Amino acid sequence: MATAVDSFALLWRELCGSLSPYQEALALLGALCAGACGARALRALVGAARVHVGTRLPLLHLLAPPRSLAASHGAWAVVTGPTAGIGRAYARELARRGLGVVLVGRDAARLGTFAEELRGDFPVRTLEIVADFSRGPAAYGDIARALEGMDVGVLVNNVGVMPVVPGPFLTAGEEHLWELVNVNVAAAMLMTRLLLPGMLQRGRGAVVNISSGSCLRPVPYMAAYAATKAFVDSWSCALSRECSGSGVAVQTLIPFYVATRMTAPGRYLRRPWLFVPSAEEYARHAVATLGVARRTTGYWPHTLQMWFTQLMPEWLWAWLAMHINIHLWKP
């Protein structure tokens, strides 16, 4: 037995000796990988601090007072889908900051009521444009005529639709699928195509494209909706690069759950808290990132959620998405 042990010990020493150069190479490779991971984590933390903390520090504002949005971008903001949820809160935040607001939606009565509310709460001008983006190309003629010659400095592509109740892809009707394409995809592109040339000519402005946390991974039982939001994210990021150096900022907003009737499932997540803010709280944070970040959640707790999502295995994300869509979306 002792001889066998001695033989094994000798063999082990010989193996370690022969593998020594490889061990050193692997150790160096491991150190480089760990350093790269640490550098990426540090970069992410510094970037998040710059976007979510730096924009809200009073001391920095005293040293370099920020210009008003009207002065830095233009006199008017155009917001699509402005009568509820994030769109409504974002429009109010822009009006609070002194921009005139053009409200583009399909419900004339709600547009008029909201415009009157904005004029009563803030000393701003408003304009209502009735347009149904689900009609496809027919919706844009009236919009183009109404906006002709206006100094539009901010375009917020917020309008969107989502399934009333999630379900398998094949249960979605053809009409609903066309609505997803016309409203969630085409509206952002065509509104941008309409207003971006004027911004580029003036050398200032911003296009804000509102995507969703569902753009980060495939979402079973909301497959088509999540895919439209992934399109918005990809297209918006590419457009941001194309406009780099022009004076026009193109920003992608990727909110997670916000406490609105559209985005919060069923009876759950309707009460605002830290990770599910009210639309007003979300908009205050998101507008502060305008011109600071090209692609952001707009709200720091959502940034934490995005990091966690990106680290999560896709199978786990898919399982959680299916659980939420099957069980939580209940009245």
Got the DSSP string for 79-110? EES-SSHHHHHHHHHHHHTT-EEEEEES-HHH
Structure tokens at 103: 């409200």
Q: How many CB atoms lie within 10 A of CB 125?
A: 15
Query: Known catalytic residues?
Result: 225
Structure tokens at 220: 């079973």
Which residue carries 């160096």 as its tokens? 28
Q: What's phi and psi for 195, nearest 5 deg? A: -105, -25
Whether residue 75 contacts residue 100, with contact meaning beta carbons closer than 8 Å, is answered with: yes
Burial of 27 (0-12, 13-18, 19+ CB in 10 A): exposed
Residues facing residue 130 across a β-bridge? 105
